[in-house]
Amino acid sequence: MRVPFIAGNWKMNMTIAEAVELVNGIQIGLKWPEEVDVVVAPPFTALKMISEVSKDSYIAVSAQNIHQEENGAYTGEIAASFVKDAGATYAIIGHSERRQYFGETDEVVNKKVRVALKHELKPIVCVGETLEQREKGDFFTVIEEQLSKGLEDLTKVLASEIVIAYEPVWAIGTGKVATPTQVEEVHEKIRNFLKKTFSDEVGESVRILYGGSVKPSNSQEILALPNVDGALVGGASLKAPDFINIIKSLPSK
């Protein structure tokens, strides 16, 4: 059985004080939920503080990005080992905003996935098509390429450490949610890809999240889909009650 997974991607929001208030709000509002992995991804500056505040709670912490090299002359960048040192146990990799605004390619994603795993950070690897790619029809080819290049040459053992987030670019921050049929179709294809590429066990065990305008009013329907194991939530994760209600809307599958 796959343990459901709800992650909040705070993006470029939250000072340290605001981040502490938000994480406290989640902890006060939701006592230890059974059988759910709850993860928050604050900005780098709040990582250590949020890791400390969440230490004895059910909340785990993720970085929103890492650099693909281990260290060296890369002014302004943050290494996997640094976020691990600050208390993170996950790293979001290949978010569409990184791909779109920072030129992140599938090859870079693959390097980041490897460096994360080397430093015992579990990668949350994001894939998803643009509106133009969806309208052209053959959008799963795009997703399959993101997956095959992004996860290239991983062993089965390492592949089983990964979490995948399917985030159609046209649904991120736009209020447009993919329909349940659209979501389930892609999730099933991603799971089949994992089975084919790695093994049936890997395909069955890897959690596949949906992301893109998830909010309390639509989460129940999405999270009930057979191949959806959770959500990567942006905007709605910035308000404790909304984030809590999304966690509470998980079905018992």
Give catalytic residues, as residue numbers. Answer: 95, 167
Taking CB under 6 A as the rule, which mask of x and - marks residues 8-47 in contact with ligand PGA?
-x--------------------------------------
Phi-psi region at 105: left, alpha or beta (left = phi > 0; alpha = psi -120 to 50):
beta
Q: Is residue 213 a contact point for ligand PGA (CB under 6 A)?
A: yes
- Cα–Cα distance, 251 to 221 (Å, whole number): 9
Which lies closer to ligand PGA via its Cβ, residue 150 or residue 212? 212
Query: Which class for 215: exposed (0-12), middle (13-18), buried (19 or more C-beta within 10 A)?
Result: buried
Q: How many residues bind ligand PGA (CB under 6 A)?
A: 13
Determine which residue in the list 26, 63, 209, 233 makes contact with ligand PGA, applying CB under 6 A.
Answer: 233
Binding of ligand PGA by 104 (CB under 6 A):
no
Q: Kindly list the distances between the CA atom of residue 126 and the CA atoms of 64, 87, 96, in Å, as whole numbers in the listed order.
A: 11, 22, 7
Q: Given the rule CB under 6 A, which of 60-68, 113-121, 156-164, 208-216 is the region that contacts ligand PGA? A: 208-216
> In a 3-state reduction of DSSP, which class is residue 207?
strand
- 212 in the Ramachandran plot: left (φ > 0), alpha (ψ -120 to 50) or beta? left
Nearest CB to ligand PGA, comparing residues 60 and 158: 60
- How many Cα atoms within 13 Å fall on the side-chain side of residue 140? 12
**Contact letters for ligand PGA, residues 139-168 (x by CB under 6 A):** ----------------------------x-
Q: How far is the CB of 200 from ligand PGA (least distance, A)?
A: 29
Nearer to ligand PGA, 108 or 231 (CB): 231
- Binding string, 164-193, against ligand PGA, x = CB under 6 A? ---x----xx--------------------
- Cα distance between residue 61 and residue 165, in whole Å: 16
Task: For ligand PGA, give the closer residue by CB, 48 or 95.
Answer: 95
Quickly list H helices, the chain. 16-29, 44-53, 80-85, 96-102, 106-118, 131-136, 139-150, 156-159, 180-197, 200-205, 216-223, 240-248
Q: Site residues (CB under 6 A) for ligand PGA?
A: 9, 167, 172-173, 211-214, 232-236
